[in-house]
Amino acid sequence: MGSRLLLVPLGCLVLLLPPPGAAEFSPSLDSDFTFTLPAGRKECFYQPMRKEASLELEYQVLDGAGLDVDFHLLSPKGETLVFDERKSDGVHTVETEDGDYMFCFDNTFSTISEKVIFFELILDNMGEDGQDEEDWKKYVTGTDLLDMKLEDILESINSVKARLSKSVQIQTLLRAFEARDRNIQESNFDRVNFWSMVNLGVMVVVSAVQVYMLKSLFEDKRKSRT
């Protein structure tokens, strides 16, 4: 079973099989996705996994009132592995078995505000490294004559690959943090502008009232008698 991610909006958690026609991501050991979750809605996703593999999932709420969402992670047997209630971010790692893992983002507690959510999946031990090693053995020959060990080359390549993957992961998370901070700053900017205009209006009204009151104090209210 290849590594793929299926997007499936659901109304409840009891459905464990993706419906026909669900969107499919291309196979990848590292996938990230950003989507908008409307108020009062829940979105669920499926990820097929192998036995003794590792599934790491990180999510962040980038925009929306409260910056919070409910998160559920279910095993292929329907058991709840993780439940986060109204959190803005989370990182979870599970050792997997054969089957489809389902994770859901729940915004049903909000009746007005939609949420912008980012999540990233990191899959380890999915059986591709062994195939890569076999591919290298087909092309590398004469290692005894060159006084080189194939294992050392593969170890160096795998180390570089792991470091590059970690760098990409960190950069993706930093972009997510930057997007959330930018949304917060823009919201604060609009709020400051609004209250500044309110304060300015109050100052103008108070100044006009003060001028009127001072002017009325010096008016000659005596009336001439005829």
Picking from 108, 127, 146, the residue at the C-terminal end of a domain is: 127
Candidates 121, 119, 108; CA nearest to 69 is: 108
Picking from 90, 110, 127, the residue at the C-terminal end of a domain is: 127
Q: How crowded is residue 127: how many other Cβ atoms within 10 Å of its Cβ?
A: 13
**Residues 89 and 161 occupy one common structural domain:** no
**Tens digit of each residue's pLDDT (9 = 90 or more) over 80-138:** 999 999 998 899 999 999 999 999 999 999 988 899 999 989 888 876 554 555 555 55
**Residues 118 and 180 occupy one common structural domain:** no
Q: In CATH, what number is assigned to the domain containing residue 36?
A: 2.60.120.680
**Residues 35 and 121 occupy one common structural domain:** yes
Please indicate, yes or no, if residue 9 is contained in any of the structural domains. no
Question: In the predicted model, is pLDDT for residue 198 greater than 60?
Answer: yes
- Please state, in angstroms and as integers, the Cα–Cα distance from residue 222 to each residue in 33, 202, 217, following that order: 79, 34, 13
Global pTM value: 0.54
Residue 187 structural domain:
154-218
Question: In the predicted model, is pLDDT for residue 41 greater than 90?
Answer: yes
Please indicate, yes or no, if residue 223 is contained in any of the structural domains. no
Please indicate, yes or no, if residue 21 is contained in any of the structural domains. no
* Domain count along the chain: 2
**Tens digit of each residue's pLDDT (9 = 90 or more) over 42-75:** 999 999 999 888 899 999 998 888 889 999 999 9
**Residues 116 and 31 occupy one common structural domain:** yes
- At residue 185 the predicted structure's pLDDT band, cuts being 50, 70 and 90, is confident
Picking from 75, 92, 127, the residue at the C-terminal end of a domain is: 127
Please indicate, yes or no, if residue 50 is contained in any of the structural domains. yes
- Residues whose CB is less than 8 angstroms from the CB of residue 87 and which lie 6 or more positions away in sequence, other chains included: 68, 69, 71
Percent of the chain whose pLDDT exceeds 70? 74
**Tens digit of each residue's pLDDT (9 = 90 or more) over 4-36:** 444 444 433 333 334 333 333 334 477 888 899
